[in-house]
């Protein structure tokens, strides 16, 4: 089961990272798969949006606040099925008055 672990450090005040997975080998589904995602930020006033292919998995919502990576499986709050070639997009936004860090874990399980 492939795992993507991303630490997006120092997101500036008012900044948006359009896809924390940009450039990852797992940004695009290489097969039909179940995708489980956990995203946390180190403070309030941070937001996450998740889209897989054409499916909106999470409309912009407040991040879970935590200073460590999400715990597998307990904090993998978001799941969807990706078709081969679907892009996994995890957009984060910092609306706070200081830089913020985001931690993301994505697990993919091929469907056979």
The pLDDT profile of the chain, 112 residues, written as one tens digit per residue, is 899 999 999 999 999 999 999 999 999 999 999 999 999 999 999 999 999 999 999 999 999 999 999 999 999 999 999 999 999 999 999 999 999 999 999 999 999 8
Q: Does domain 3-110 have CATH number 2.60.120?
A: yes
Q: What is the rounded CA–CA span in Å between residue 86 and residue 98?
A: 34
Neighbours of 43 (CB within 10 A): 15
**Cα Rg, the chain, nearest whole Å:** 13
Contacts of 72 (CB under 8 A, 6+ apart): 3, 38, 105, 107
The domains of the chain are located at 3-110
Q: Which of 101, 79, 83, 82 is nearest to 92 (CA)?
A: 101
Q: Which of 10, 73, 88 is nearest to 38 (CA)?
A: 73
């Amino acid at each position: 089961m492939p795992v993507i672990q991303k630490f997006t450090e120092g997101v500036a005040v008012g900044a948006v990272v359009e896809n924390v997975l940009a450039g990852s080998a797992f940004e695009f589904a290489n097969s039909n798969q179940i995708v489980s995602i956990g995203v946390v930020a180190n403070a309030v006033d941070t937001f996450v949006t998740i889209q897989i292919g054409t499916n909106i998995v999470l409309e912009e919502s407040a991040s879970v606040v935590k200073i460590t990576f999400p715990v597998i499986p307990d904090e993998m709050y978001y799941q969807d099925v990706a078709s081969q070639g679907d892009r996994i997009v995890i957009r984060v936004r910092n609306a706070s008055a200081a830089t913020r860090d985001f931690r993301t874990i994505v697990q993919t399980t091929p469907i056979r």
